[in-house]
């Protein structure tokens, strides 16, 4: 009887030793052994794999996977809108890390039909970024590195919250895109991040992560701060359209701030770099009364 139990425990594929984690879509991902050949379907997923210590396991990634620098050399499998299915299959992945909010459902269904395990990464809260890193570390067999990186993220998050807990609040408009004019909702990760330094989104009531808004609505709300993300290599003044409205509080006080888009739009550890930069510019290097009217 005892020998039979030992044989069962060592049976290849036995669920007693399977790796099981729950992803951002609340779905269980199960592997018999740590993944050795990983394909990521979003730039942020690529960053998370490197953060979890599994960069050498990446055999494929989508376009714009450019951080860390080593990610630029990973073979491409298309982009979030259009996958190169033939090339992806040819890479023989034993795990795909997908972006459930950005990849096409039919592509994910196709992957599932081919029996490829899929981990969905789409953090809805800042703390879930750390959860994703730790979970990916378990799937890749880099558990210790993943846990350490997740712990570091949580510590930095808490430190930012403490640092600005007594900072003066400010009302802001986040210009996600200038034409058509788009912004983020209060429940978005960007909205949550700016709350760390006491930012109050003038469009916090939006029920979607992002939405098109009118210029008149922004002017009527009269934000104290305007923030615009900028892409690498972008030129021109992202606030040009607003400078004509000289009576707006943000324009009067020149509270106009930019931040590199990939530092704040990707749910990765670098999101804290972006928000730390913004919080510092808004508070630490601002005149003491700049946010009071």
Q: What is the pLDDT of residue 186?
A: 87
In a domain, 291, yes or no: no
8 Å CB contact between 262 and 232: yes
Residue-by-residue DSSP string for 187-215: TSHHHHHHHTTTEEETTTT-SSSEEE--H
Average confidence (pLDDT) over 125-136: 97
SS3 152: helix
Query: d(Cα 205, Cα 200) in Å, to the nearest integer?
Result: 11
145 and 212 belong to one structural domain: no
pLDDT of 5 > 70? The answer is no
pLDDT of 55 > 70? The answer is yes
Query: d(Cα 175, Cα 284) in Å, to the nearest integer?
Result: 22
Residue-by-residue DSSP string for 103-166: S-HHHHHHHHHTT--EEE---SSHHHHHHHHHHHHHHHT-HHHHHHHHHHHHHHHHHHHHHTTT
Q: Quote the number of domains for the chain.
A: 2
149 and 178 belong to one structural domain: no
129 and 187 belong to one structural domain: no
**At which of 125, 158, 191 does a domain end?**
158
In a domain, 28, yes or no: yes
Query: d(Cα 273, Cα 283) in Å, to the nearest integer?
Result: 15
Q: What is the pLDDT of residue 286?
A: 55
User: Tokens 């788009």 — which residue?
Assistant: 182
75 and 204 belong to one structural domain: no
Closest to 253 (Cα-Cα) out of 261, 245, 263:
245
Average confidence (pLDDT) over 116-133: 96
Structural domain boundaries, residue 272: 167-284
8 Å CB contact between 193 and 275: yes
pLDDT single digits (tens) 60-108: 999 999 999 999 999 999 997 889 999 999 999 999 999 988 899 999 9
pLDDT single digits (tens) 245-263: 999 999 999 999 999 999 9
Mean pLDDT of the chain: 91
**At which of 158, 177, 207 does a domain end?**
158
51 and 25 belong to one structural domain: yes
130 and 242 belong to one structural domain: no
pLDDT of 293 > 60? The answer is no
174 and 210 belong to one structural domain: yes
Query: d(Cα 98, Cα 44) in Å, to the nearest integer?
Result: 10
In a domain, 58, yes or no: yes
**Alpha carbon separation from 165 to 62, 147, 198 (Å, rounded):** 38, 27, 7
Closest to 247 (Cα-Cα) out of 203, 293, 178, 184:
293
117 and 212 belong to one structural domain: no
Question: The whole model's pTM is what?
Answer: 0.90
Residue 230's H or E segment, with its range, is strand 225-230
195 and 226 belong to one structural domain: yes
The CATH number that applies at residue 244 is 3.40.50.1980
- Structure-token pair, residue 169: 């609040």
Q: What band does 22 get if pLDDT is binned at 50, 70 and 90?
A: very high
In a domain, 123, yes or no: yes
214 and 278 belong to one structural domain: yes
Q: What is the pLDDT of residue 10?
A: 44
Query: d(Cα 22, Cα 68) in Å, to the nearest integer?
Result: 26
206 and 72 belong to one structural domain: no
Residues 6 or more apart whose Cβ sits within 8 Å of residue 61: 39, 40, 43, 46, 71, 74, 75, 76, 77
232 and 189 belong to one structural domain: yes
Residue 48's H or E segment, with its range, is helix 43-51
pLDDT single digits (tens) 137-150: 999 999 999 999 99
Average confidence (pLDDT) over 20-43: 95
């Amino acid at each position: 009887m005892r020998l039979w139990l030992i044989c069962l425990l060592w049976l290849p594929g036995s669920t007693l030793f399977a790796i099981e984690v729950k992803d951002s879509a609340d779905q269980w991902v199960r592997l018999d052994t740590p993944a050795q050949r990983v394909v990521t379907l979003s730039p942020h997923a690529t960053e998370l794999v490197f953060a979890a210590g599994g960069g050498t396991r990446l055999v494929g990634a989508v376009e714009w996977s450019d951080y860390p620098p080593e990610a630029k050399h990973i073979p491409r499998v298309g982009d979030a809108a259009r996958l190169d299915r033939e090339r992806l299959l040819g890479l023989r992945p034993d795990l795909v890390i997908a972006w459930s909010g950005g990849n096409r459902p039919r592509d994910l269904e196709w992957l599932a039909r081919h029996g490829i395990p899929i981990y969905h990464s789409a953090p809805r809260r800042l703390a879930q970024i750390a959860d994703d890193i730790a979970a990916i570390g378990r799937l890749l067999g880099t558990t210790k590195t993943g846990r350490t990186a997740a712990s570091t993220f949580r510590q930095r998050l808490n430190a930012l919250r403490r640092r600005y807990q007594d900072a003066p609040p400010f009302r802001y408009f986040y210009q996600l895109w200038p034409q058509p004019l788009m912004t983020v909702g209060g429940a978005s990760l960007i909205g949550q991040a700016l709350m760390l330094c006491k930012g109050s989104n003038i469009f916090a009531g939006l029920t979607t992560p992002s939405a098109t808004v009118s210029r008149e609505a922004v002017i009527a709300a009269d934000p104290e701060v305007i923030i615009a993300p900028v892409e690498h290599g972008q030129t021109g003044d992202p606030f040009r359209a607003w400078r004509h409205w000289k009576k707006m509080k943000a324009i009067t006080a020149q509270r106009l701030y930019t931040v590199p888009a990939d530092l704040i739009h990707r749910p990765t550890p670098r999101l804290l770099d972006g928000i730390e930069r913004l919080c510092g510019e808004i508070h630490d290097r601002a005149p003491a009364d700049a946010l009071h009217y």
